[in-house]
Structure formats: structure tokens, C-alpha cells
Amino acid sequence: MRRKLTQRGRDRRDQLLDHAARLFAERGYHPTAVSDIVASLGVGKGVFYWYFSSKEELLVEILKASHLDLRRRQQAAIGDEPDPVRRIELGIRASLAWFAQHREYFAIIQFAATDETFAPVLRRNREIGLADTIKHLKEAMVEHQIADQDPEVLANAIHGVVDQLTRRCVLERDEPVERVADAAVDFCLGGLRVSPAS
Amino acid sequence: MRRKLTQRGRDRRDQLLDHAARLFAERGYHPTAVSDIVASLGVGKGVFYWYFSSKEELLVEILKASHLDLRRRQQAAIGDEPDPVRRIELGIRASLAWFAQHREYFAIIQFAATDETFAPVLRRNREIGLADTIKHLKEAMVEHQIADQDPEVLANAIHGVVDQLTRRCVLERDEPVERVADAAVDFCLGGLRVSPAS
DNA sequence: CCCGTTGTTGACCGAGCGGTCAAGTGCTCC
DNA sequence: GGAGCACTTGACCGCTCGGTCAACAACGGG
């Protein structure tokens, strides 16, 4: 759906995006009706279909916009840091911080991953994120800062740690982001540090 | 729903559980109608409601049964291994192997995690799994095989790695379980092995 | 002040859903 | 062989959903 929007129109669209994201996060995508979304704004149903051609398109827009925002935050955090390992660390910290500030998107992304309709968008988002991490990992390998291993597997493992610790520690248990980020970075850089003896 | 079942009845119930799990995994929970499930068996709708009181109850049963099965597999794999670190390793390998054989449950569990209705069941399942890992971690700390750290955070990090590598490598890219399991164990035990110099 | 465009209304529609039920079938045990 | 319980049928119900639309309001440039 492409339409000429005035400032008023753009504001409405953003309102719809925001309210929908909140409702999707709270109750889930399917259980949230379009009529719930417009009701939460106190407007008629037609408003929704003025800005979006379908409920599906709305979710796709939410996914794209949020990923863009997360990525901007990561890049801002990394800046021009020259050390690749340090860049990975800064990326991990930025991700945790972003999710702590945008909790609602976590549940939405997780649902979208379970629905074939949205999987392509999500896959694309993920590939971009992985590519960033892989780039840093490869550089770190070239500089012999870390051992030579399949960078794609490593990148996935790192994202798995960040994902899980965000979910369990930051979102569910409300632990301070800093502390959780420290733990995530520690685990990724050093694992369980099993002593060679074992 | 508790009912007296003959052998025939138990078989039907299992058929329903199986077909439903497959459909939920392929299309998702909400988009799969009860009428789809019974149609895939070529029976009338009443059959479903003879064995389950609602679609919701069905999913809860699927979640409980699958978690029980995974756990049995883990315990069988661990056996009476005395070394706690080795027990963690065996648990990781068993999890990956189980999911490789029961791919359909991964998508179902992921969806269930996004729906408040099913979150309690899942939370319970997860707590049980974490408790197992934490037990081994604590023992390993007592024996000074690994450094003293918050065992709950570590357990979550490990589960995150297993989760992510199962999803990306085993399920999506069909890599051999053994190889992925090696990578998961390596990463968990040693992380990125950043050289102390950095 | 008028007119075209942007924005809004809410009754309405067809489709599909989860769930019910009266009626029937097949098994099993006495 | 029949009484009774396990199991099956599928039309049916009430409801909610995503989406449409004709009519109308607000805004803004000329």
C-alpha cells in the first residue's frame, strides 16, 4: 500500500504501527483482531485499511521497521572500533540494550518465525544480522585473535546466547541489562572455561 | 478430558496427536482448524471431541508428551556418567539428536512460547530442563572443573546455543547432527577461546 | 469560498471457525 | 442375542473475523 500522506497521515500510520505492535506482543497476532487495533485508537475500521492493505502487510511493516532500528543502534554503538572482537562485544551489548527498550518486539519476532507467511522477511533480517557478525569473526580469525572455525556456526551460537539471555534474564526476570550483557559477552568469548585438565 | 479407552481408542488418540502435531508444525496452530485435523484422518469431527475437550487441550497434551519424551532420551543418554561436565555434553548431544528425529515439535514449541495460554506449560517444561543442567553445573563448580559463576545464567546460555544451532544447522540446513553437536559442545565448553593476549 | 484530495465512519458481508448433539455403528461380555 | 458401553457421524449453531464500501468530514491551495 503506497499512498500520499500528509503529516497527519504519517502520524496516524505510526500510531497504528505502535498500537498494533503492543497488542500483538500482549495477545499474539492471530488473537488480535483488526477491530481491536482500531478500537484501541478509538477510530473506525476504515482507518486501518486506508493505511494498510491487510493485517499481514501490517506485521511485515512492523518487522522491517524494527529490524532497521535495531541495526542502526548496533552500528551506532560499534562506530569505527578497529578491533573485531571488541566490535562483536559492542554489537552484543547494543542488541541487549535495544531489546530491553523495545520489549514488545521480541514476542512478535518469535511468533513471526513460526508462520510461513512471515518467515521470508525474518530470514532476510536474520541473514543481515549474521553477515555482520560473520564479518567481524573472519577478521578476528585473520588476526589470529580467535581460532579458525566455521564462522557461520559461531555467529549462530552467539546469536543464540544473546537471544536466550535477553529473553530469560532481561525480559522475564528484569535483570539489569549491563550485568546480563557482561555474562553474554563472557560466555561467548570464553564459554564455560573448562580447565584443560578435564 | 478423562475417558475409559480401549486399545482402539488409545490408538485413535495417538493418531490424532500425531496428525495434529504435523499440521501445527506445517501451518501453525491458529491456521490449522480442528476440521483439518480430522479430515487428515478421514474421520468425522465428533471423533476429535470424543478424545479432547478442546483444541487448546490438544496442544497442551502435545507439549507435555513431547517434553517427557525428550527428557527420557536425555536421561537415557546420560546414564550413570559420574563426570558432571561430561553429563552436560551428553545432554546437549541427546537434545540435538531428539530434535533431529522430531523436527515437528520445534515449531510447535516456538509458537506455544508466544501464546499466554500455553506459556505456563512451557515454562514448567523449561524450568525442569534448566534444573537438570544447573545441577550438573553446580557439581562441576564444586569439583573446580569450571569457574564459579551464576549457574542459572550459564544454563540459559547453553540452552540458547543448543536451541539456535538445532534450528539453524540441523533443521534448516540439514547438517549432520554429530557435527553440529560437536560445535555446540565446543562452543559451550570453550566459547570463542579468545587468546588472553587480546 | 469552493473544490479536489486526504482522511474517517461504521454497517455490512461472506467465510470459516470451535464446538454440539441426536442418531447411529461396532464390540464385548453375560 | 441382547444390553450396554465405546466410538463415530456430519449437519448444524453462534460467533467472530478480515475486508468492503458508499457516504461523509476536514483540510488546504487557488
CB proximity A194 to B under 8 Å? yes
Instruction: Check: CB of residue B170 under 8 Å from CB of residue B97.
Output: no
The number of C-beta contacts closer than 8 angstroms across A and B is: 140
Instruction: Check: CB of residue B125 under 8 Å from CB of residue B146.
Output: no
Instruction: Check: CB of residue A137 under 8 Å from CB of residue A154.
Output: yes
- Nearest CA-CA distance, residue A3 and chain B, Å: 31
* Count of CB atoms situated within 10 Å of the CB of B14: 12
Furthest CA-CA distance within chain A: 69
Closest alpha carbon to C1' of C21, residue: B46
Quick one: DSSP state of residue A146? Answer: S
| Residue B27: Cβ-neighbour burial (10 angstroms; 0-12, 13-18, 19+) | middle
From chain A residues 122-181, the ones with a CB under 8 A of any chain B CB are 144-147, 149-150, 153-154, 156-157, 159-165, 168-169, 180
CB proximity A30 to B under 8 Å? yes
Q: Chain A contacts of B165, Cβ < 8 Å?
A: 153, 156-157, 160
pLDDT, tens digit (0-9, with 9 covering 90-100), for B58-103: 999 999 999 999 999 999 999 999 999 999 999 999 999 999 999 9
Q: How far is CA A24 from CA A5, A13, A167, in A?
A: 25, 16, 17
Residue in A120, A131, A150 with CA at minimum distance from that of residue A75: A131
* B157/A28 CB distance under 8 A: no
- How many Cα neighbours within 13 Å face the side chain of B107? 21
Per-residue pLDDT 10s for chain B (198 aa) are 878 899 999 999 999 999 999 999 999 999 999 999 999 999 999 999 999 999 999 999 999 999 999 999 999 999 999 999 999 999 999 999 999 999 999 999 999 998 989 999 999 999 999 999 999 999 999 999 888 889 999 999 999 999 999 999 999 999 999 999 999 999 999 865 554 433
Instruction: Check: CB of residue A88 under 8 Å from CB of residue A67.
Output: no
The helix/strand/coil state of B96 is: helix
Closest-CA residue of chain A to B159: A164
Instruction: Check: CB of residue A187 under 8 Å from CB of residue B154.
Output: yes
* B153/A169 CB distance under 8 A: yes
pLDDT, tens digit (0-9, with 9 covering 90-100), for A34-86: 999 999 999 999 999 999 999 999 999 999 999 999 999 999 999 999 999 99
Instruction: Check: CB of residue A109 under 8 Å from CB of residue A166.
Output: no
Distance CA A106, CA A121 (A): 15
Distance CA B155, CA B141 (A): 13
Q: Is the CB of A46 under 7 A from strand C?
A: yes
Local confidence band at A16 (pLDDT 50, 70, 90 cut-offs): very high
* A190/B190 CB distance under 8 A: yes
